[in-house]
Every structure is written in C-alpha cells, then in structure tokens.
Amino acid sequence: LVASLAVLLCGFSLTDEAEEKAEFVDSLKRDVIKVEHSIDVTKDLIKKSKGAPYLPDIVFRLAELYVEKSRLVYYLEVETKGAEQAVSSPESKLLKNEAIETYKDVMHRFPEYRYNDKVLFFLGHEYHELGMHEDMLDTYKKLVEDYPKSSLLLEALYIIGDYYFNKDDLKEAEQWYNKILKYRESPLHDMARYK
C-alpha cells in the first residue's frame, strides 16, 4: 500500500511539473507576442514623432524592448530546447544586436539626450552578454569619461575593475577599484576594497 501510494504521488509530482513547465512555456510565448506588439507600436510612434522632444525616449524604449524580447526568447529556448542549445540562440543574438544598434542610434542622433549615460551603460551590458569585451570596456570607459556625475559611474568603474580582475591583471584592476574609493561612500566601496 505504501509503495503504491509513493508511486502514485510521484506520478502526480511529474504531471504537476510537466503542467507547470507547459504553463510557463505558454506564458513566455504570450509575453513574446506582447513584446512584439509593443515593438511594432513603438516603431509606429517613432515614425509619427519626428522632431518631437520626447523622440529620444521612444527610441531608447525601443532598444529596451529588443533586450526584453531577447531575454524572453532565450528563456523560451532554455525551456524548450535546453540550456546548452539556448546559449547559441541566433534569434536572441539578433535581437541583442538590434538593441545595440538602437542604443548607438540614440547616441548618434541625440547627443544631448539627458539619459545617454544610461544608454551607454545598457549598451555596455549588451556587449558583455555577447562576449564583445573590448567594446564593453570602451563603452564603460566612455561613460566614465563623459558622464562623471552619472548615477551609474561607480557601477561602470566596478565592472571595468572586475573585467581586469577576472583576467588576472590585478594592477589594472586595482586602479579602477581605487577610482571608486574617490567618490562618496556606496555599497560598491566595500566590494572595491575587498577586491
């Protein structure tokens, strides 16, 4: 009786897990469709907003939508094909490249945009996720140089320091960590001191 009950409970567990996974996959598919719709609406809005003062915000939002869709596509592929195959997802990479081009477009078309420090920060993040480390470093160094009062400055310094730390270039890493210590106290100070 106990053995039969255990088998029965295991069967429910597997069924529940399979159902939960199927529901999760369905929700990811719905989310991809919603983001695709948002991308289309945002593109239409961009066309209608030529010369509007809020145009840079809309183009920036388009880049964020590409990033969001890229993540959803990646998670969908992890769930349906497995993590190993999802790592090399061509669609996810294509969407990340669309985001990169859109972020670069914001910087080029709107050099005085008030959130260009954020544009650079997110651009650097996308380069990092694609393994484009030289581009990532150049982007974060540009943020540090061009936006010394950015709220993202310390995080950019820390990412640069971590890059060199992980490459065992400790002398270079230390220089970037020390730059963090020159600014007002933040949670990143502790990590910079530790490293």
Q: pLDDT tens digits for 85-105?
A: 656 789 999 999 999 999 999
C-alpha closest to that of 53 among 108, 102, 110: 110
For residue 6, pLDDT over 70 is answered with no
User: pLDDT per residue over 129-155, tens digit each?
Assistant: 999 999 999 999 999 999 999 999 999
pLDDT score of 139:
98
pLDDT tier, 156 (very low <50, low <70, confident <90, very high otherwise): very high
Q: Which of 117, 122, 166 is nearest to 142 (CA)?
A: 117
Residue with tokens 């999802």: 86
Question: Given this model, what pLDDT does residue 82 score?
Answer: 80
- Contact between 103 and 135 (Cβ < 8 Å): no
The residue count for the chain: 195
Q: Are 103 and 119 in contact (CB under 8 A)?
A: yes
178-183: long-range pairs with CB below 8 Å, 24+: 179/144, 180/154, 183/153, 183/154
Quick one: what percent of the chain has pLDDT higher than 70?
Answer: 90
Q: How many CB atoms are located within 10 Å of the residue 54 CB?
A: 10
| pLDDT band for position 18 (cuts 50, 70, 90) | confident
Q: Please provide residue 163's backbone torsions phi and psi, each rounded to the nearest 5 degrees.
A: -60, -50
pLDDT of 28-78, one tens digit each? Answer: 999 999 999 999 999 999 999 999 999 999 999 999 999 999 999 999 988
Q: What is the pLDDT of residue 130?
A: 94
Question: Token pair of 26, please?
Answer: 């369905």
Of 4-18, 65-79, 121-135, 174-188, where does mean pLDDT reach its minimum?
4-18
Give the residue from 68, 115, 120 showing the smallest Cα distance to 95. Answer: 68
